Every structure is written in C-alpha cells, then in structure tokens.
Amino acid sequence: MNTSFRIISYLEGISYLLILFVTMPLKYLFESPQPNKVIGMAHGFLFLAYIVFAFVIKPEKHWNNKTLGIVLLCSIIPFGTFWMDKKYLKD
C-alpha cells in the first residue's frame, strides 16, 4: 500500500506542476486550452486517488489527525507531495 501511495503522490505532484507551469501558460498566453483539459482531467483523478489513499494508509502508518491534515495539505501546495514523501513515507 505504501508503494502505491508513493507512486500516486509523485504522479499527483508532477501533474500539478505541469498544470501550473506548462498548461496554464499555454492556455492563457498562447490560447491553447486543450493541454490544460487533458492534464487537468488526469490531475483530478490523481488528486482524488491521493486523498483516498491518504485515508486508507492512515491506520497503517499510525498517523494522528494532525499528520493526516498535513499530508492532505501537501496535495495543494506546489512541491508538497515530494516533501511529504520524504518526511512521512520514505522508510
């Protein structure tokens, strides 16, 4: 379960960075919204999977509610999922 959550967190973080630094500039500076739609859909799926996995892995990792809150907060901060992986998931 830990490995699956690590993979999801990395993919979610990468998709978030792609949205912020690639597809949003393409959309607003070059009037090309299609990449944003594709990456945005993938990011939405990965974000939901990240949230579900965080709740599923909470008992396994013996996280308290504060730690779970930090892990969930990391999903909306750029580069947050990478920091969370090093702090809470790396064995």
- 14-51 confidence digits (pLDDT tens): 999 999 999 999 999 999 999 999 999 999 999 999 99
- Say what percent of the chain tops pLDDT 90: 96
| Distance, CA of 54 to CA of 50 (rounded, Å) | 6
Structurally, the chain folds into a number of domains equal to 1
Q: Using CA atoms, how far apart are residues 9 and 42, in angstroms rounded to an integer?
A: 13
pLDDT tier at 79 (50, 70, 90 boundaries)? very high
User: Global pTM?
Assistant: 0.92
Range of the domain at 8: 2-89
Give CA–CA dist 26/57, Å, rounded.
36
Residue 90: pLDDT band (50, 70, 90) is confident
Is-contact 57 5, C-beta < 8 A?
yes
Strand boundaries in 7-87, DSSP class E: none
What is residue 64's three-state secondary structure? coil
pLDDT of 91 above 80:
no
